[in-house]
Every structure is written in structure tokens, then in C-alpha cells.
Amino acid sequence: MIAAQAIPRVHAATMAPYPPRALLPLLLLVAAAHAGNPSHSECPRDVNHTRGRGGVFQANLDSLLSSLPAAAAGAASGFATNATGAAPDRAYGLAQCRADVTASDCLACLNASARDMAGKCPGRRNYMLVHDTCLLRHASASFFGAADTSRVKYRRNPQNATQPERFASLLAPLMGSLAERAAYASPRMFAVGTADVTSSDRIYGMAQCTRDLGKDDCHSCLVTAVSRIPTCCAGRRGGQVIFRTCSVRFEVYPFFSTPSEAAMLRTPPPQPAGQIMTVILRSAYQTGCASIKKRLTPAI
């Protein structure tokens, strides 16, 4: 059984129950304890330093990063963009929190990211830092509104799925549906959902875009991310595909919460694209599983 959603769980009556509510705060607390470890950081070494021209760009960047986290955390969307200064030293920035985190957790994550930037990528004009619950990015040229899949980061669960064929048959339609729902049915461009592998095992999936993208650009980015799952994580129990402007993730444990987001799933997402993606992903994922199984089978 598959249930996909952009918050909240609108088809709750047809879904198997989530793990006990008493367990969810503990699981989210454990995730928060690891928030200091970024999922992805990008610090290009071929970009000019910020120290030239009397440090004008650095001053603009400092001003930008001092205000951007609070602007995003204080917005209902959990998202903000801004630019400070004048060309050629104008600094552009984007801050975004995952749609299911609180404003206080959003601010804490973004403030920590802003501090990390100074130490982990000093003097660079372009930098992006992605944590599980927030993203912070700055550059010396505008990148707003442009889908970007030119760089990718893979993260994978080291454990293999116990029933890889069934796992693949459920993962494919789940992630394809989430890509459509995040792009077309959620103003925060964020969707989560579940699929039951067995009575006790469940896949938890998430898809999200940066909220400066148009719906079609978001969908295109997510479709590309979903298509990379077999490359990233074939046969695995979890994984992430992270682009600059979108990401997808699946696990066998809950890693998101579900606050209300006012009936954003009433508009049905386009179905043909989802069906095509399901076929492509299922085939590629099962091919990867077969390859793993072949490598693990001892010779006779």
C-alpha cells in the first residue's frame, strides 16, 4: 500500500498507522543531535576570494548573512532570498528550511550554517551548505529561479534492503508521486509519504525544491533526482540525491514530522509523467539490485 502526500496526511484513513507517537519526538531529537553534520557542502576552489577591492564583497556578504537566517525563519514559507551591495561586489543569498521544522529550529539551523560558512569556506564568493533541515547558499551572481542539476551529492544507507524487488516496486511509484506533489500541489514545494513493504517495514520518502523555482522547473529537477536513485542507492534501505535546487530522500525510519499545510493535495498532480517515471525507476533500481545480488552470490 502506498500513501504519498504533501503535508498533511490527507489520506490517513487508508494508511497504516505511523510508529507510536511517543516514539516520534525521540527519533526527531536524535536527528537534531546530528544537525551539526552537513549533508552536503560546496566550496568551489576556482572562485575568486572575497578579500579584493578593500573587502567590499565580504562586507556585503557579512551584511547578507547577518539578516538572511532571521528573514527565512520569520517567514511563513520558511524561505528568503536577498541581495546586498552593488555590482561587481553584490552578494546574493538564499535561505530555506524544510517545511516540517519549527521556526525556532529553522533559525538555529540557519544561524549555525552562517557561522560554519566563515570557518569551512573562508574568502569564497560562492558557497552552499545543506543540512537535513535547512539550506544556505550565497554567490556573487544571481542564481534565483534557475533549476540547477549540474552538481550532485549522493548519500546512502550502508544496509541493503531485505526484499529488494518488492522494495523497488514500492519505492518507484512513491518517489515519482512525491516529485509531482511537491512541484504541483504544495506551495512550499515539499512532499512526504510512505509505502508499506511488510506489516512491520515501511519506506518513508521526501521530495523538496528550493522555493524560488517555478512548478515545472521544480518537477524537472525532482524527476532528474528520482532518476538518479538507482545510481546512488540501488538495493539500499535508504539514500539521498541532493542537487543545488532540489533533493529527494528515502529511509526505512521516520525522519520528518507532519505539521498542517492546509489541504494542498486537492489538485491532482499530472499522472502520465508519474507513470513513466515509475517504470524507469523500477527497472533501473531492480537492475541495480540484480547486480548487487550477483556480486554477493558465492561461486560454486
Helices (H) and strands (E) in the chain, counts: 7, 11
- Residue 40 falls within a domain, yes or no? no
Listed in order, strand segments (DSSP E) in the chain are 2-5, 40-42, 79-84, 91-97, 127-130, 134-139, 153-156, 190-196, 202-209, 239-242, 246-251
CA–CA separation, 266 and 117 (whole Å): 40
Residues 192 and 250 grouped into a single domain: yes
- CB burial of 135-154 (b: ≥16 within 10 Å; e: otherwise) equals bbbbbbeebeeebebeebbe
CA–CA separation, 246 and 210 (whole Å): 6
Q: What is the mean pLDDT of residues 123-130?
A: 90
Domain containing residue 87: CATH number: 3.30.430.20
- Residue 81 falls within a domain, yes or no? yes
Lowest mean per-residue pLDDT among 63-72, 119-128, 205-214: 119-128
pLDDT in the model for residue 18: 36
pLDDT at 217 over 70: yes
Residues 120 and 178 grouped into a single domain: no
Residues 57 and 158 grouped into a single domain: no
pTM for the structure as a whole: 0.78
Residues 176 and 270 grouped into a single domain: yes
List all residues 6 or more positions away from 103 whose beta carbon is below 8 Å from its beta carbon.
73, 74, 78
pLDDT in the model for residue 5: 52
Residues 128 and 156 grouped into a single domain: no
Q: For residue 196, give the 3-state DSSP assignment.
A: strand
Higher pLDDT, 266 or 242: 242
- Residue 165 falls within a domain, yes or no? yes
273 pLDDT tier (thresholds 50, 70, 90) = very low
Residues 108 and 161 grouped into a single domain: no
- Residue 272 falls within a domain, yes or no? yes
CA angle in degrees (0–180, nearest 5) for 208-2-170 = 85
Check if the beta carbon of residue 165 is closer than 8 Å to that of residue 289.
yes
What percent of the chain clears pLDDT 70, i.e. is strictly above it?
Answer: 69
pLDDT at 275 over 60: no
Last residue of a domain, one of 106, 139, 172: 139
- Residue 188's H or E segment, with its range, is none
Scanning the structure block, which residue is given the C-alpha cell 541581495?
83
Check if the beta carbon of residue 136 is closer than 8 Å to that of residue 20.
no
pLDDT at 253 over 90: yes
| Domain limits for position 92 | 47-139
Q: What is the mean pLDDT of residues 22-50?
A: 53
CA–CA separation, 293 and 209 (whole Å): 34
Is it true that the peptide bond before 270 is cis, omega within 30 degrees of 0? no
Higher pLDDT, 137 or 273: 137
Residues 100 and 229 grouped into a single domain: no
Residues 180 and 85 grouped into a single domain: no
Lowest mean per-residue pLDDT among 10-14, 143-147, 191-195, 226-230: 10-14
Lowest mean per-residue pLDDT among 90-104, 108-122, 149-163: 108-122
Lowest mean per-residue pLDDT among 53-62, 129-138, 268-277: 268-277
54 pLDDT tier (thresholds 50, 70, 90) = low
- Residue 78 falls within a domain, yes or no? yes
Residues 77 and 177 grouped into a single domain: no
Last residue of a domain, one of 139, 162, 180: 139
pLDDT in the model for residue 123: 80
pLDDT at 93 over 90: yes
30 pLDDT tier (thresholds 50, 70, 90) = very low
Residues 218 and 267 grouped into a single domain: yes
- Residue 69 falls within a domain, yes or no? yes
Last residue of a domain, one of 107, 139, 171: 139
- Residue 110's H or E segment, with its range, is helix 103-120
Residues 135 and 188 grouped into a single domain: no
Residues 161 and 253 grouped into a single domain: yes
- Residue 22 falls within a domain, yes or no? no
Q: Which of these, 174, 98, 192, lies nearest to 136 by C-alpha position?
A: 98
60 pLDDT tier (thresholds 50, 70, 90) = very high
- Residue 56 falls within a domain, yes or no? yes
Number of domains in the chain: 2
Query: What is the tens place of the pLDDT at every residue in 144-173?
Result: 999 999 999 999 999 999 899 999 999 999
Helical packing angle, 56-74 and 103-120, nearest 10°: 160
